[in-house]
């Protein structure tokens, strides 16, 4: 995930799962504002980052790859 001043983004460095098993990837930023969009990208091996989803608040469902982006009230 990226946000303004991305050096301060806090997220797990690595997460693994098997195909068909869901996983949660958390990301936060200490200075995020309520009007800052949160963008998620996926980077597959040997490829550039590919945009997945962005939102300000609440939830968004993703079709490909299947998933859901949830933004907590405290962002």
The yes-or-no verdict on residue 39 having pLDDT over 60 is yes
The partner residues of 10 in beta bridges, in order of sequence, read 28
Q: Work out the average pLDDT over 50-58.
A: 84
- Of 5-14, 31-40, 65-74, give the lowest mean pLDDT range: 5-14
Q: Name which residue leads in pLDDT, 74 or 44.
A: 44
The two structure tokens encoding residue 29: 């930023």
Residues in Cβ contact with 42 at an 8 Å cutoff, skipping those fewer than 6 apart: 49, 50, 52, 65
Report the pLDDT value the prediction gives residue 46, as an integer from 0 to 100: 94
Residue, of 29 and 6, whose pLDDT is higher:
29
- Say what the pLDDT of residue 48 is: 94
User: Are 50 and 44 in contact, with CB atoms under 8 Å apart?
Assistant: yes
Dump pLDDT digits (tens) for 5-18.
Answer: 556 778 777 788 88
What DSSP string runs through the chain?
A: -B-SSGGG-EE-S-----TT------EE-TT--TT--EEEEE--TTS--EEEEEESSEEEEETTTTEEEEE-TT-
């Amino acid at each position: 995930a990226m946000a303004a001043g991305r050096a301060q983004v806090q997220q797990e460095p690595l997460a693994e799962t098997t195909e068909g098993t869901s996983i949660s990837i958390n990301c936060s930023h200490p200075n995020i504002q309520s009007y800052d969009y949160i963008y998620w990208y996926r980077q597959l091996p040997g490829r550039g980052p590919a945009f997945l989803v962005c939102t300000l608040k609440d939830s968004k469902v993703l079709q490909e790859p299947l998933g859901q982006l949830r933004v907590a009230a405290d962002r």
